[in-house]
Structure 1
Amino acid sequence: MDQRFSFYQREDYWSLMGRGEDRISNLPNEILQSIICLMPLKYAIRTSVLSKKWRHLWQFNLSSSTSLQFGEDFSCNQSPKQFVTTLDQYLHVLGDRSLDKFGILFSPFNIFFPNLENWVATVLAKGVKELKIDLSQGVLHTSGDFYIDDRMPFVIPNPLFNCNSLTHLSLSRCNFADPLVSANFVGLNSLSLDNVDLTDAMLTSILEYCVLLQTISLKKCEILDIVKFVGDKLKLQKLVIVDCTNVSDIEISAPKLESFLYHGWISVSHVFGNVSKVNDAYLCSQGSEDFHLIFAGILSDLSHVKILTICSMGLLHLAFHEDDYVQDIFPLQLYNLQELQLVLDSIGEDDIFCIFSFFLLCPSPFLEKLFIQLPFPSEFLNVQSNSATAEEIISEIEFPSLKFIKITNFGGSPQELILVKFFLEKAIMLETIFTLMNQRDDSNNSLSRRIIEGQLSVIPKASKDAYIVVCGQLDHDCWINPTHAKLYYEENYRNGTAMHHDHEGHENSPLDQEFL
């Protein structure tokens, strides 16, 4: 729909008018109103600048719209005061009509807290089903770990949530009132909390009362200590835990859980009970190599998954182990694994060794798809060399079912070529190996696409039908993508801070680049 109506921007509109004749505006009002109603709200609003006749036509869009989404494209050109005025106007135009979805990306200070309360109360009174409040705009510390803008957190009073219609709730950088009355959320199917002061007691209460919850996402909830998702009646199907740095214990026994995504320090005690239905797992660790016992145990408990994403530190946990307990786990047969994604922080010799070690320690005879995310820019981890040689490890590795490989951020370095050579010589059923060159590497030292194609073409292939594709910087990547397309490292799910401007070009409050 967005592409279909993108011509309604000002410059395209005038090009459609012909030589001074505004043919579109001469259409009957009924037709213009019908056009407006078919457009996304943000494009309908843009038509107000075309001419006097179009100034108020966008309001007809609201007459049929059940969704109000005020994201980055809406707020980036407005000051907070303008944002508040405009949003109040839209809600007023909406009148008594009900809403299905309401979402805002806003940077409020204390002066605007009453407006926030009014908006929440208004949309809940309209029976909103999906509510998204993102107040993450602000000034981050250079480490990205905390805000330094001295903003007070917005606290959502319990009485505002007396709404049985609410099924999806997403909050970022705003808090619940304490104690939380979880009975207000009995209809929730999905809950996403980012930078929320969620306590252990609050989470326990939510799980007790919100028996319909199927998806839970917890990001940077730094007060959490002990996390338990346990119960035969849990309907939880997807669980995401990202950078909850103070969590020390995790216990999961959820009979319907299908997807488990964890990013953060791995130095936590874990107990996995009934996780037999987990189909895909995302395990990215920020802990040191000293925690290989814990990581190996987690991977062992999830060895039945079909889809797995693992990071450099996870590979390091597995490759450099000496404890008898860990040795008793390996080799760990991943018989169900069909798709594997490796997210690398660096691509040095030790990283290559870790990759080889993983395939030796975790045989995956039915692996069909392999995705490798190379770093940009490259960084190198300092680890001790293992006594075993790469050649000895390679000789014992087989890929009887691997058909597709995609390597992203490929630069043609010697280590990367060693990696490609390894797969081409071992994957006897390989159909395609796709290398996507680094899209941002404009340095003079980078190898050209033609040189990389030449280097790859002379590597021996175990599969005579293997097709090598090199995608250049200007090519469109339309190939197969991994199931875990979103990577939860800091710069990806929280892109930092940018300044936005008002209509006169003055700088206003900072703006995070992504509306989560």
Structure 2
Amino acid sequence: MGRGEDRISNLPNEILQFIICLMPLKYAIRTSVLSKRWRHLWQFNLVSSTSLQFDEDFSCNQSPKQFVTTLDQYLHLHGDRSLDKFGILFSPFDIFFPNLEKWIATVLAKGVKELKIDLSQGILYTPGDFYIDEDDRMPFVIPNPLFNCNSLTHLSLSRCNFSDPLVSTNFVGLSSLSLDNVNLLTDAMLTSILEYCVLLESISLKRCDIPETVKFVGDKLKLQKLVIVDCDNVLEIEISAPKLESFLYHGWISVWHVFGNVSKVNDAYLCSKGSEEYHLIFAGILSDLSHVKILTICSMGLLHLAFHEDNYVQDIFPLQLHNLQELQLVLDSIGEDDIYCIFYFFLLCPSPCLEKLFIQLPFPSKFLHLPRNSATAEEIISEIEFPSLKCIKITNFGGSSQELKLVKFFLEKAIMLESIFILMNQCDDLNNSLSRRIIEGQLSVMPKASKDARIVICGQLDHDCLINPTHAKLYYDENYRNGTTMHEGKRRKNIPLTKSSCSSVLVKLRLFVKFVVLIFVK
């Protein structure tokens, strides 16, 4: 095939239609600019698709009015065919609320199973964790027919409200519920959801307006995963779920908590906001979850544990984490006091089965001076053991004296260590090869308790550093707070596809055709 020859366009219509139907819709639409013959072929993808996802790429390149017009056209072309998945990312104004209600009614009539409605708009103001809307739009209230749809298995809602009182739900098949910036103003709303969604296995509540007291209690609960992020109104939380396996909590530590039947929790993510006055509460939560195999905690959690003089805490520690196999430490700062808190954690919480350790350093590096217990770091280190630790990954490594001290500590104490991966921070990785060579030299002469331990220094894209923790998503991250679920304050300029983009579309199409051919050959 010559470089400029387009033999793909010469294929029979049936083959082209088959290829189009295998492509994601947004890529199929882009083929319409190739030639007159390709102009309408993408519609075969649309009418045969059981999944319609109008995500950020689709919504950010159109004005709200264009978005509404286009989506109306696509749903019309799809006809009365059934639909498994439907998702939109849209920033509506009040005048488009009727369109939203019509779309929801349409996909419900199609028997949709997975529904995602993300109505984000504006900029998230990080210090207060609330949105700033450019046009002070009224919140969209979810229409009542949605709560009587028995075909739904997965429901994700962002920046819309429930009606109060909540109409009796009929989500008999719902297994996953994700709410981001959704109001759950009364205890009855959450109770109603748990009562009627008898198959619910996963609940995610992020930045939701929920009651001060929340309960996930019931012997018949099938709940396996619970995520609560930045729901800062919560003062009391009660959990007793016999099948719960994963518990992720980020935010202010609730003043009062009761963990009943949580014996099957396998992994826990505990990142606290607040001051040291919550150290008793955090210690109690960790004690209730001391049986987990996977754990993520943050700098504030380490600080909570460092305040152990109180008699209540002395009754808990040392806290044996007998089952812990994977630990991730997410640090807000890296200084002498932070290193001390890390040492103290391993002293207070012996983990004889720990095999994998991940340490997320801050970038750029921060330093925070914290109160310190009277014990010296040397005294603490002498009592710490790592009998099973085999793999360590330290991310955003910059080569500071404290970071080097941390590496030295693990090399000297981990007698079974096989690998320690040092992932350089972006600044050193891209701009300072000399700094990297200096760090390599410093690490190479450090004493090792394990003769087989290898030190691997790598950049952001190096294959050796692809090993990741179970809790790969960090909710303190600016990406979570400022861009993953909402549009930017200003909509990106609409840049329609033109003939000038044909060559890149054709190249991608050729690659896709080769991929399809390889599959059928195999």
Residue 254 of structure 1, CA deviation: 0.5
* Match for residue 348 of structure 1 among 328, 331, 335: 335
Q: 1:436 to 1:404 in 2, by over 3 A?
A: same
- What does 1:27-106 correspond to in 2, within 5 Å? 27-106=11-90
Q: 1:477 to 1:224 in 2, by over 3 A?
A: farther
1:358 aligns with 2:337: no
Secondary structure, counterpart of 1:154 in structure 2 = coil
Q: 2: distance between equivalents of 1:121 and 1:17?
A: 50
Deviations 1:66-103 (A, max 9, x none): 10111111112111111111111111111010000001
Q: 1:131 to 1:420 in 2, by over 3 A?
A: same
1:195 aligns with 2:181: yes
Q: How many percent of aligned residue pairs carry the same amino acid?
A: 87
1:136 aligns with 2:123: no
Residue 472 of structure 1, CA deviation: 2.5
Report the counterpart of residue 215 of structure 1 in structure 2: 202
1:378 aligns with 2:374: no
1:228 aligns with 2:212: no
- What does 1:89-128 correspond to in 2, within 5 Å? 89-128=73-112
Secondary structure, counterpart of 1:183 in structure 2 = coil
AA matched with 1:493: Y
Q: 2: distance between equivalents of 1:95 and 1:459?
A: 68
Residue 311 of structure 1, CA deviation: 0.4
| Bigger RCO (CA 8 Å, 6+ sep) | 2
Preserved CA contact (<8 Å) 1:281 1:305: yes
Report the counterpart of residue 10 of structure 1 in structure 2: none
Preserved CA contact (<8 Å) 2:246 2:268: yes
1:278 aligns with 2:265: yes
AA matched with 1:196: V
Q: 1: distance between equivalents of 2:434 and 2:218?
A: 55
Preserved CA contact (<8 Å) 1:312 1:346: yes
Residue 183 of structure 1, CA deviation: 2.3
1:176 aligns with 2:176: no
AA matched with 2:202: T
- Flag structure 1 segments of 5+ consecutive residues without an equivalent: 1-15, 506-516
Preserved CA contact (<8 Å) 1:144 1:490: no
Secondary structure, counterpart of 1:175 in structure 2 = coil
Report the counterpart of residue 517 of structure 2 in structure 1: none
Q: 1: distance between equivalents of 2:68 and 2:139?
A: 18
1:338 aligns with 2:322: no
Superposition TM-score, scaled by structure 1 size: 0.91
Report the counterpart of residue 478 of structure 2 in structure 1: 491
Q: 2: distance between equivalents of 1:254 and 1:330?
A: 26
Residue 425 of structure 1, CA deviation: 0.1
Which range is displaced more, 461-470 or 41-50? Answer: 41-50
Preserved CA contact (<8 Å) 1:124 1:161: no
Q: CA RMSD in A?
A: 1.8
Residue 144 of structure 1, CA deviation: 5.6
Preserved CA contact (<8 Å) 1:49 1:55: yes
Q: 1: distance between equivalents of 2:89 and 2:406?
A: 43
Q: 2: distance between equivalents of 1:310 and 1:460?
A: 28
* Match for residue 304 of structure 1 among 266, 275, 291: 291
Report the counterpart of residue 447 of structure 2 in structure 1: 460
Q: 1:441 to 1:464 in 2, by over 3 A?
A: closer
Q: 2: distance between equivalents of 1:484 and 1:326?
A: 27
Q: 1: distance between equivalents of 2:168 and 2:472?
A: 32
Superposition TM-score, scaled by structure 2 size: 0.90
AA matched with 1:503: N
Q: 2: distance between equivalents of 1:258 and 1:101?
A: 26
Q: 1:227 to 1:440 in 2, by over 3 A?
A: farther
1:242 aligns with 2:229: yes
Preserved CA contact (<8 Å) 1:440 1:473: no
AA matched with 1:439: Q
Number of aligned residue pairs: give it.
489
Preserved CA contact (<8 Å) 1:224 1:244: no
* Match for residue 500 of structure 1 among 491, 506, 519: 491
- Flag structure 2 segments of 5+ consecutive residues without an equivalent: 497-522
Residue 135 of structure 1, CA deviation: 1.0
Deviations 1:95-115 (A, max 9, x none): 010000001111111011111
Q: 2: distance between equivalents of 1:53 and 1:161?
A: 44
Preserved CA contact (<8 Å) 2:124 2:481: no
Q: 1: distance between equivalents of 2:334 and 2:65?
A: 48
Report the counterpart of residue 375 of structure 2 in structure 1: 388
Residue 381 of structure 1, CA deviation: 2.4
Preserved CA contact (<8 Å) 1:373 1:408: yes
AA matched with 1:25: S
